Structure 1
Amino acid sequence: MMRKSRGNRWFVFGTFFGFMLLHQADMLLIGPLTTPIMETFHINEAQMGAVVTGALIVGGILYPVWGYLYDRYSRPKLLALASFIWGSTTWLSALAPTFPIFVATRASTGIDDASDPGIYSLLADYFAPAVRGRVYGLLQLSAPFGYIVGMVLATAFKDVIGWRGVFYVTGSLGLVLSAIIFLGVRDAARGSSEPELQNIAVLQEHHFEWRTAGRLLRKKSLVLLYLQGFFGAFPWNVITYWFFRYLEKGRGYSGGEVLSTMIVAILVLAVGYPLAGALGDRLFRRTTRGRLIVSIVGVIAGTVLFFITMNVPVTAKTTFLVMLAASALFTPFASPNVVSTICDVTLPEVRSASVAIQSFVESVGAALSPLVAGLIAVRLDLGTAIVVICTSTWAVCALLFVGAIILVPRDIEAVRAELRLRAQTEQAPS
């Protein structure tokens, strides 16, 4: 397969950034809209946790399916389909007249939530390994910025057009992006950015094979990263879906105080993504353990700072804001480096599948976490639920990173050796 032109790679990046930004905004709207939705359907925290869990379960089940499809067929066309599904199912959620129907329609939004592996895989073929951490770090800015967009939309319009109206807006944006991706983004030869294959003028096209995919779980570092993804999903989703209500009910913040506090924290958190990616790339050039070293530093620092934050007295609002921002800086340190490492230890034709497995494992933890937090909150309080879940699961992640740091050099070298062998058999004619 001929190499793609790299002249439009930043257009491709920008398109996917827009997709993930608005998609994240749509997904995370459920957090700032939790209270009006609960009031509309007259439900408690445990029932609301079930709403979130439903979508996460559907998305989790479909991650392996999307990963397989991305490694077999055109990634841009599949991403356009995912965007169309996003817009359509969000509209259905807005139309739901009763709570059972809302649970079902909100669960259907999980279909397209499993679409990210194709983005990471395609960008890995547009950008070389040495800069992937930075690229993924910039891409993952879409998550906190999407959260801000969602907060602004929810806060500004929930009392004007209602929570249903906000869903209509974000669903329509999904339909528009579907057309942009379908018409403007082209696929790339799998493996075309790998250094070992740079002298190959015409690459042989490699697609998903069960034999190659089956070897993924033999990579011990990859298995450890998958396990940490399960535990790491708990704090992310507990904070995403319950922190608004915690500030409102647990700390007595007004709507304006909630918005200003969260915007500051999320802006600082946003800095953490590209910073972590850049640090990971820089240390990776010195040692193949570099990305994961940055990851474990972020997990340990973030855990300690978050525990201190949650124990700040309710009256000390300024101190709470400062500590929350400090912990937020380190919270995303693992994210771009873990995805980059997954690409480092897998062959190009199974990268969508490998990222999809990671996302599937994360989704299992993500599906459980809001419901578990809701159940703990009903029996104790929401603040206790958040602290217990976040600190305990982050501690487990740190231990798993230790093992991955030890094992990852061998798995990276195995991939590079196979790519060098492939290059020898695919040399272009002189």
Structure 2
Amino acid sequence: MNTTQTVPPTDVAPAPATGPAASAAGPGARAWWVLGVLCFVYVLNFLDRQLLSILAKPIQDDLHISDGQLGLITGLYFALFYTLIALPVGWFADKTNRVKVLSFACFIWSAATIACGLSRTFPQLVAARMTVGVGEAGGVPPSYAIISDYFPSGTRGRALGIYNMGPPIGMAMGVAFGASIADAYSWRDAFVSVGVIGVLVALVVFFFVREPKRGGLDIKKDEAPAPASTVPAEGFWSTCRMFFNRPVLLLISLGSGATQFVTYAVLNFTTLFLMREKGMTLSEVAVYYALLIGICVSAGMYASGRLVDWLGKRSKTAYAYVPAVGLTLAVPFFAGFVWAPSWPLALAFLAIPTGLNYFYLSPAVALVQEEVKPNQRVLSGALLLLVMNLIGLGFGPTYLGMASDFFRVSHPDNSLQLAFYTLIPFYFLAVALFLGLARALRREAAEAEGAV
């Protein structure tokens, strides 16, 4: 049963960029400033998350861990905490101040990143890594909802596309910054430096980002706005049932999860693959791979966000066809990357799928935020992350690391290459799920028209 919860006035500050009038006029300067701050938090979120895979080789040399152990610590161990903690955090954030939840989460994962750099044994690194996952669970879902309450429908695809450039920027900065520090000093110094920056940014979010009014930009012109002090509180389980009972939301989550199975597996092992089997040095990784990640993934995120804003006005099936077409085009180039006998040729092939692999994320986030009630957005975003990260982040790197250990017995010099080839069928699984999503979207549209 739904209830009404009174929110303290301090939790809802008047934001110039929100309200029906702002919806008609478009997002204001404050909305873009908040988007920039949240994007930088996401940069740190992903930078902290990816440092371990970027610095995999020096960490392996220091702590003597296998590819399988690396896959577990960057995959399943991290994902279990990251995805499961995100649900209660999302539910709590839907009922309270989302900005404060975000700032506290940023502080936790940044402090845990410092602990990763201070770890002296594999179990210590596992514990610190899991704590990073706990903190990062409160990062993305509140940000999705905050952005959706600063930007009106029709501009959210672009705004979320810009926000989702945080991962590629974080990846690129992690490769360039982390690899450079590790090359000049040590991998431990890279973790400590990034963690200290995150603690400072958490304070900026807490003191300088305003909490927007929930659903303020979703009110139609002929409707009177609801009082800002009241927010209808949706139940935790009712939101979960709604999410998993709707084929559209379930299919976008499964399609994204299958895609992330590939993207996280590739992301978490590419640096190690390039260094160990393609002959790159850490200093070369810091320049060339950093540029590739920063440019290509950012282009994919932004282009897909703009495409769904444009094509989605004609048909919601764009949310399915944009990622399906992107993944289909990526397959031959990905195979070329794995096959390439030298790292320059490998990077040339990798540039194309690095952009196309990320055509799924902006459409997925935008569709979920459009399809649920304003006071269900954080938890629904957390449920989306639960499905796609448990499948992708949890099992992608874990699978690839174990596959590499398996092939190393018979092919010690190119075990990762063989393991990478086995990811190709997962591309086609993801495409099939997105095509199923397109059918579900057409069916919902037909039912809506029949009900009019």
Q: After TM superposition, is the score higher than 0.5?
A: yes
Contact 1:345-1:415 within 8 A present in 2 as well: no
Q: Tell me the SS of whatever aligns to 1:159.
A: helix
2:380 is matched with 354
1:184 is matched with 208
Q: Of 183, 191, 195, which residue of structure 2 is paired with 1:167?
A: 191
Q: Aligned runs of 1:229-308 on 2, under 5 Å? A: 229-266=256-293, 267-308=295-336
Q: Indicate yes or no: 2:362 matched with 1:336.
A: yes
Q: Of 157, 169, 173, which residue of structure 2 is paired with 1:133?
A: 157
Contact 2:254-2:387 within 8 A present in 1 as well: yes
Contact 1:344-1:415 within 8 A present in 2 as well: no
- CA shift, 1:414, in A, is 9.2
1:21 is matched with 43
- CA shift, 1:159, in A, is 3.4
For residues 231-260 of structure 1, the C-alpha deviation after alignment (integer angstroms, 9 at most, x for no partner) is 222112111210011111121223344334
- CA shift, 1:142, in A, is 1.2
- CA shift, 1:311, in A, is 2.5
Task: Return the alpha-carbon distance in structure 2 between the equivalents of residues 162 and 319 of structure 1.
Answer: 29
Task: Return the alpha-carbon distance in structure 1 between the equivalents of residues 238 and 54 of structure 2.
Answer: 44
1:401–1:242 CA distance, 2 compared to 1 (3 A): same
1:247–1:4 CA distance, 2 compared to 1 (3 A): same
What is the RMSD computed on CA atoms of the aligned residues?
Answer: 2.5
- CA shift, 1:213, in A, is 4.1
Task: Return the alpha-carbon distance in structure 2 between the equivalents of residues 198 and 407 of structure 1.
Answer: 31
Contact 2:176-2:285 within 8 A present in 1 as well: no
2:133 is matched with 110
Contact 1:77-1:182 within 8 A present in 2 as well: yes
Task: Return the alpha-carbon distance in structure 2 between the equivalents of residues 198 and 27 of structure 1.
Answer: 45
Task: Return the alpha-carbon distance in structure 1 between the equivalents of residues 196 and 347 of structure 2.
Answer: 35
Q: Tell me the SS of whatever aligns to 1:109.
A: helix
- CA shift, 1:3, in A, is 6.3
Q: Of 408, 431, 435, which residue of structure 2 is paired with 1:402?
A: 435
Contact 2:181-2:190 within 8 A present in 1 as well: yes
1:216 alignment partner AA: F
Task: Return the alpha-carbon distance in structure 2 between the equivalents of residues 173 and 415 of structure 1.
Answer: 49
Contact 1:137-1:277 within 8 A present in 2 as well: yes
Task: Return the alpha-carbon distance in structure 2 between the equivalents of residues 3 and 282 of structure 1.
Answer: 31
Identity of counterpart residues, as a percentage?
Answer: 23
1:97 is matched with 120
2:23 is matched with none
- Per the normalisation by structure 2, the TM-score is 0.86
Q: Of 192, 207, 218, which residue of structure 1 is paired with 2:233?
A: 207
Q: Indicate yes or no: 2:394 matched with 1:367.
A: yes
Task: Return the alpha-carbon distance in structure 1 between the equivalents of residues 446 and 89 of structure 2.
Answer: 28
- CA shift, 1:34, in A, is 0.7
1:309–1:156 CA distance, 2 compared to 1 (3 A): closer
Task: Return the alpha-carbon distance in structure 2 between the equivalents of residues 90 and 158 of structure 1.
Answer: 15
Task: Return the alpha-carbon distance in structure 1 between the equivalents of residues 329 and 124 of structure 2.
Answer: 42
1:384 is matched with 418
- CA shift, 1:262, in A, is 1.4
Task: Return the alpha-carbon distance in structure 1 between the equivalents of residues 337 and 183 of structure 2.
Answer: 31
1:387 alignment partner AA: Y
Q: Indicate yes or no: 2:90 matched with 1:57.
A: no
Task: Return the alpha-carbon distance in structure 2 between the equivalents of residues 322 and 157 of structure 1.
Answer: 26
For residues 61-101 of structure 1, the C-alpha deviation after alignment (integer angstroms, 9 at most, x for no partner) is 21211211121111001001101101221122222222211
Q: Tell me the SS of whatever aligns to 1:205.
A: strand
2:352 is matched with 326
1:233–1:398 CA distance, 2 compared to 1 (3 A): same
Task: Return the alpha-carbon distance in structure 2 between the equivalents of residues 149 and 67 of structure 1.
Answer: 28
1:149 is matched with 173
- CA shift, 1:141, in A, is 1.1
Alignment coverage as a number of residue pairs = 416
Task: Return the alpha-carbon distance in structure 2 between the equivalents of residues 379 and 289 of structure 1.
Answer: 40
Task: Return the alpha-carbon distance in structure 1 between the equivalents of residues 245 and 221 of structure 2.
Answer: 24
Task: Return the alpha-carbon distance in structure 1 between the equivalents of residues 318 and 14 of structure 2.
Answer: 30
1:154–1:18 CA distance, 2 compared to 1 (3 A): same
Which blocks of at least 5 consecutive residues in structure 2 are unaligned?
1-11, 18-27, 408-414
- CA shift, 1:212, in A, is 4.3
2:174 alignment partner AA: G
1:247 alignment partner AA: L
Which blocks of at least 5 consecutive residues in structure 1 are unaligned?
417-430
Task: Return the alpha-carbon distance in structure 2 between the equivalents of residues 5 and 198 of structure 1.
Answer: 21
Q: Indicate yes or no: 2:70 matched with 1:48.
A: yes
Q: Indicate yes or no: 2:38 matched with 1:4.
A: no
1:3–1:392 CA distance, 2 compared to 1 (3 A): farther
- CA shift, 1:412, in A, is 7.5
- CA shift, 1:229, in A, is 2.7
- CA shift, 1:410, in A, is 5.8
Contact 2:258-2:429 within 8 A present in 1 as well: yes
- CA shift, 1:318, in A, is 4.6
Task: Return the alpha-carbon distance in structure 2 between the equivalents of residues 359 and 108 of structure 1.
Answer: 18
- CA shift, 1:211, in A, is 2.9
2:47 alignment partner AA: A
- CA shift, 1:310, in A, is 2.0
For residues 325-377 of structure 1, the C-alpha deviation after alignment (integer angstroms, 9 at most, x for no partner) is 12222111111011101112211111111111111112222112222211111
2:143 alignment partner AA: I
Q: Tell me the SS of whatever aligns to 1:206.
A: strand
Q: Which range moved further: 78-87 or 156-165?
A: 156-165
Task: Return the alpha-carbon distance in structure 1 between the equivalents of residues 223 and 61 of structure 2.
Answer: 62
1:4–1:273 CA distance, 2 compared to 1 (3 A): same
1:409–1:66 CA distance, 2 compared to 1 (3 A): farther
Task: Return the alpha-carbon distance in structure 2 between the equivalents of residues 412 and 212 of structure 1.
Answer: 22
Contact 1:190-1:205 within 8 A present in 2 as well: yes
Contact 1:3-1:202 within 8 A present in 2 as well: no
